Amino acid sequence: MNQIDAIIVDIKKMFAKQPNTIYEVRVVDQIYSKKVNIFFEYYKIGKATHSQQIARLDSEYREQIPEIIAKIRKNTGLTVNSNI
């Protein structure tokens, strides 16, 4: 199992279908530190967003961000946002 597959397993563990709750995954390319952060975010309608960092990947993954986004979206069915 590679690191992306482990991240997907972690996302599936955190995803608990609750009524009136929005779930998302956010992939952030940190330009200055050359890292890729992946966050699991959820919020109830009208409430504050809760964000939890799942992973911090090294610079070698920066080129693979579109593939990472597609793989997470395909395997979890969640919305995946990015800053790229």
Tens digits of residue pLDDT in 27-40:
999 999 999 999 99
What pLDDT is attached to residue 47?
94
**Domain span at 52:** 3-82
Residue 5 has pLDDT above 90, yes or no: yes
- Structurally, how many domains does the chain consist of? 1
pTM of the model: 0.90
What pLDDT is attached to residue 7?
95
Pairing of strands 21-30, 50-57: unpaired
Residue 44 has pLDDT above 80, yes or no: yes
DSSP 47: S
Residue 43 has pLDDT above 70, yes or no: yes
Q: Taking a C-beta distance cutoff of 8 angstroms, is the pair 71, 5 a contact?
A: no
Ranges of beta strands (E only) in 1-84 are 21-30, 35-44, 50-57, 79-82
What pLDDT is attached to residue 1?
62
- Number of helices and strands in the chain (H, E): 2, 4
